[in-house]
């Protein structure tokens, strides 16, 4: 039996379409593209607790594919936003998007038994900035000083004095983004030292 391959990515991802075309032309293998940002719009997601029931996802050509029949799956890109059908209630947009993400993940993890190119869980972990930093440290890479921020809570509503106190060196801090800080930017540590003694 010839292998069947699935690619999960944005509907307009040129690289996804190019790879699909090359796989079909050079290897004569059946390949489908599952548009991760159009799942709500296209519908067709089907799953069941019965193992013999199909587990369907929509494809870019307007059909559906049973992921149980795929031999390999490239989990290339998933969407933070979904194209919603006309008339969808905008108040429920976030709920719809998150529910669709969980359904997609559940269908893939439960029904797909082939080989992964980028496993969904490994991909999600790799996208986490703190996980990236920890992996870089374990690999012995040098990390440039970066921006940190305190858990601000409701500091904005309590005024500048509270914000200055939260920036003191002994205040609890969280890393929010660890990019190198441009020289023209004042780091929080310098800001903390400059504002020391001004909290009443």
| Percent of all residues in the chain with a pLDDT value above 90, rounded to a whole number | 42
Partners of 127 in beta bridges = none
The residue behind tokens 């930093």 is 133
Tell me 139's DSSP state: T
Q: How far apart are alpha carbons 8 and 109 in whole angstroms?
A: 14
Note whether 45 and 57 are within 8 A (CB).
yes
Tokens of 38: 């159009």
| pLDDT in 10s for each residue of the chain, 200 residues | 789 999 999 999 999 999 999 999 999 999 999 999 999 989 899 988 888 899 999 999 999 999 999 999 999 988 778 888 888 888 888 898 899 999 999 999 999 999 999 999 988 888 888 888 888 889 988 877 655 454 545 444 445 554 444 444 444 444 444 444 444 333 333 433 443 444 44
Q: Which pTM does this prediction carry?
A: 0.67
Mapped onto helix, strand or coil, the DSSP state of residue 8 is strand
pLDDT tens digits, 18-34: 999 999 999 999 999 99
Give me the pLDDT at residue 145, please: 64
């Amino acid at each position: 039996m010839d292998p069947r391959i699935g690619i999960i990515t944005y509907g307009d991802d040129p690289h996804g379409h190019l790879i699909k075309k090359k796989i079909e032309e050079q290897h004569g293998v059946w390949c489908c593209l599952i548009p991760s940002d159009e799942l709500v719009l296209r519908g067709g997601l089907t799953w069941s607790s019965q193992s013999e029931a199909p587990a369907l996802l929509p494809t870019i050509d307007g059909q559906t594919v049973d992921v149980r029949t795929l031999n390999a799956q490239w989990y290339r890109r998933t969407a933070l936003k979904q194209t919603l059908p006309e008339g969808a209630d905008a108040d429920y947009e976030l709920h719809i998007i998150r529910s669709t993400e969980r359904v997609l993940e559940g269908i893939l993890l439960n029904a797909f038994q082939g080989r992964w190119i980028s496993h969904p869980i490994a991909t999600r972990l790799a996208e986490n900035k703190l996980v990236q930093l920890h992996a870089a440290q374990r690999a012995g890479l040098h990390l440039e000083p970066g921006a940190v921020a305190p858990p601000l809570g409701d500091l904005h509503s309590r005024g500048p004095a509270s914000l200055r106190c939260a920036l003191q060196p002994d205040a609890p801090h969280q890393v929010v983004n660890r990019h190198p800080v441009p020289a023209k930017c004042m780091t929080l540590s310098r800001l903390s030292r400059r504002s020391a003694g001004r909290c009443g």
